Copies of this chain bind each other. A is one copy, B any other.
Amino acid sequence: MTMLVQKYGGSSLKNTARIVAVADRVAVAAKSGPLVVVVSAMGDTTDHLIDLARSVADRPDKREIDMLLATGEQVSASLLAMSLHQRGVSAISLAGWQAGIRTDSVFSTARIRSVDTERIRHELTAGKVVIVTGFQGVGDETGWGEVTTLGRGGSDATAVALAAGLGDCRCEIYSDVTGIFSADPRIVPEARKLSEITYEEMLELAQYGAQVMMPRSIELAQLWSVPLEVRSSYAAESGTRIGGTMEYGNRVAGVAHQTDVAKVTFVGLADRPGIAHTIFSALAKRRIHADLIVQNIGQHGRTDLSFTVAEGDLEAAMEVAEEIRGDVDAQAVTSKGGMAKVSVVGAGLSSSAEYASTMFGALAETGVNIDMISTSGIRLTCVIDGNRAEETVRSLHAAFHLGEDASWQASA
Residues of A within 8 A of B (CB): 16, 19-20, 23, 49, 52-53, 55-58, 60-61, 63-65, 67-68, 70-71, 74-75, 77-79, 81-83, 85-86, 92-93, 95, 97-98, 119, 122, 144-147
Contact = CB atoms under 8 A, between A and B. Distances in A.
24 contacts: A16-B56, A20-B56, A49-B75, A53-B78, A53-B79, A56-B79, A56-B86, A57-B83, A57-B85, A61-B85, A64-B79, A64-B85, A64-B92, A64-B93, A67-B74, A67-B81, A68-B74, A68-B78, A68-B82, A71-B75, A97-B145, A98-B145, A119-B144, A122-B144
Given A65-B78, A119-B144, 6 more contacts: A53-B82, A64-B82, A67-B93, A68-B75, A71-B71, A71-B74
A42 to B, nearest CB: 9
A82 B97 contact: no
Number of copies: 2
A68 B77 CA distance: 8
A130 B344 CA distance: 54
A68 B79 contact: yes
B70 A82 contact: no
Nearest to A66: B78
Contacts of A19: 56
Contacts of A92: 63-64
Nearest to A42: B52
A98 B58 contact: no
Contacts of A144: 98, 119, 122
A405 B92 CA distance: 58
Contacts of A83: 56-57
Contact of A56 (B61, B63, B82, B147): B82
Contact of A52 (B52, B67, B75): B75
A64 to B, nearest CB: 4
A23 to B, nearest CB: 8
Contacts of A23: 56
Nearest to A98: B145
Contacts of A81: 61, 64, 67
Contacts of A86: 56-58
B95 A82 contact: no
Q: Which 7 A-B pairs have the closest CB atoms?
A: A71-B71, A67-B78, A57-B82, A68-B78, A56-B83, A57-B86, A16-B55
Nearest to A146: B98
A181 B56 CA distance: 34
Contacts of A147: 95, 98
Contacts of A61: 81-82, 85
Contacts of A79: 52-53, 56, 64, 68
Contacts of A119: 144
Contacts of A57: 82-83, 85-86
A61 to B, nearest CB: 5
A263 to B, nearest CB: 39
A98 B66 CA distance: 14
A182 to B, nearest CB: 38
Nearest to A86: B57
Contacts of A16: 52, 55-56
